[in-house]
Amino acid sequence: MAEGDSIARLAARLHERSAGAPIVRSDVRHPRFALVDLAGQTITGWHPRGKHLLMRTDAGVTVHSHLRMSGRWSVLGAGKRLPRTVAADLRIALHLGDGRTLAGIGLPVLAVLATRDEHRVVGHLGPDLLGETFDASAAAARLQASAERAVLPALLDQRCVAGLGNMWAQELLFLGHVNPWRPVGEVDPLPLLDRARTLLRNAVTSNPGQNTTGRARPPHWVYGRKGRPCLRCTTSVAFAPPERTPHGRETWWCPRCQPAGAHRAGPERAT
């Protein structure tokens, strides 16, 4: 899943394998950037920003991408080509001096811009949970700016805090005994943010990374466990499909471990 931790891991892998490499030829298959030529530039590094990925060159150019659910980056060895069925989804190819190719495949978001203008593509993001200088107070203030908003969509709003996707946000709320439909103004966000930062940082360095239970199976407490017994109390895990949630995402929670309280408990009928 392309959440903050997986993007950080990808950035580290790409940085290790290509930082300092010269680009001898580029192919950008995007109508806005099809004439961009990165030949002669050297890759200086890959940098994660929340769920966004930034590749910078020594010419002051940045390649910005967002994987969402379908995109990926691959490193092809010298002389290797993408399978024909995959090549149709190629969005950018960076051919390096040693014969290798960095291939961005199925990228739903791709832009090439001046590094000084990166704020145009990531400036809207809230504090990055994996950033070296994460400002928890600023993130908490952004989360609670709309106090009546449900806590789950608030955590998923990258303008509030960057790095959490659907899986991490829901597992985080389960671990904190917080109902996903509870108004964010009724929640102390600082413990949630502290735990989120710890979980994501551990996921970057551990294998497998996106595991919240500490078990091989199941790896998650509630995510993807519709109707199955809660691993903590055995109550059936509740589920709401995306069309019945305010944020348009599948949602799982334990009605007992994450009690609704006095507030409205989300969809009228959970399944």
pLDDT of residue 214: 86
CATH 3.20.190.10 positions along the chain are 4-122
CATH 1.10.8.50, applies to 136-253: yes
Q: Check whether 239 has a pLDDT greater than 80.
A: yes
Q: Check whether 84 has a pLDDT greater than 50.
A: yes
For 159-180, the pLDDT digits (tens) are 999 999 999 999 999 999 999 9
3-state secondary structure of 224: coil
CATH 1.10.8.50 positions along the chain are 136-253
Pick from 6, 115, 143, 8: nearest CA to 56: 115
Q: What is the mean pLDDT of residues 39-63?
A: 98
Q: When comparing pLDDT for 166 and 264, which is higher?
A: 166
pLDDT of residue 260: 87
pLDDT of residue 270: 59
pLDDT of residue 7: 96
pLDDT of residue 246: 84
pTM: 0.91
Pick from 23, 63, 20: nearest CA to 45: 20
For 92-137, the pLDDT digits (tens) are 999 999 999 999 999 999 999 999 999 999 999 999 999 999 999 9
pLDDT of residue 268: 46
3-state secondary structure of 169: helix
Q: Check whether 262 has a pLDDT greater than 70.
A: no
Q: Check whether 1 has a pLDDT greater than 80.
A: no
Instruction: Count the alpha carbons within 13 Å of 217 in the hemisphere toward its beta carbon.
Output: 0
Specify the CATH number of the domain 4-122. Answer: 3.20.190.10
pLDDT of residue 15: 98
Q: Check whether 187 has a pLDDT greater than 60.
A: yes
Average pLDDT, the chain: 94
pLDDT of residue 208: 66
pLDDT of residue 267: 64
Q: What is the mean pLDDT of residues 226-242?
A: 97
Hunting for tokens 């899986």 — which residue is that?
167
Per-residue tokens: 154: 């608030």
Q: How far is CA 197 from CA 40, 134, 176, in A?
A: 38, 9, 14
Hunting for tokens 């993007």 — which residue is that?
7
